[in-house]
Amino acid sequence: AAEGYEITEVAPGDTVTAGDFTLRFFGGVHAEIHSSIPLIDNVGVLVDDELYYPGDSYAVPEGVEVGTLAAPLGAPWLKIGEAIDFVLAVKPRRAFGTHDMTLSVIGANMHRGRLKWATEQNGGEFFELDPGDDLEV
């Protein structure tokens, strides 16, 4: 553990208050990279019933209307078709890409275009954020 820090272990279904924030946890398992690599625990987090970050998974937060989705854009476990299906299932009002530093500029822009399309299918808006950019939630 990190000495000097308060650590709270969480699991899917847990709700934790951290300062002014309410955190709800979903999922449970990291997305598969390859069958030769054991699966590990992973939880997604919903912050103040607004911002959802799925971690390294496509865990859809059941029973939640997601305001803003941090959508995985590129990672060793990511297949863009699965990422599109994830965004379509979550139906966020707003989304932006995460996990994109493994992609070239051309690859990131291509994936952003796909997730923009998926976000717009349910009336949402996709934001193309670069390192250092911000989005008010």
**Could you tell me the pLDDT band of residue 90, with boundaries at 50, 70 and 90?**
very high
CB 33 within 8 Å of CB 75: no
Residue 112 lies in a domain: yes
CATH code: domain of residue 48:
3.60.15.10
Q: What is the helix (H) or strand (E) element at residue 106, kind and residue range?
A: helix 105-120
Give the count of domains, the chain.
1
Containing structural domain, residue 22 = 15-32+39-127
Within-domain flag for 110: yes
Q: Is residue 61 a part of any domain in this protein?
A: yes
Residue type, 137: V
Residue 136, domain member (yes or no): no
Buried b (16+ CB within 10 A) or exposed e, 38-47: eeeebbbbbb
pLDDT per residue as tens digits for the range 72-85: 999 999 999 999 99
Read off the pLDDT of residues 29-76 as tens digits, 9 standing for 90 and up: 999 999 999 999 999 999 999 999 999 999 999 999 999 999 999 999
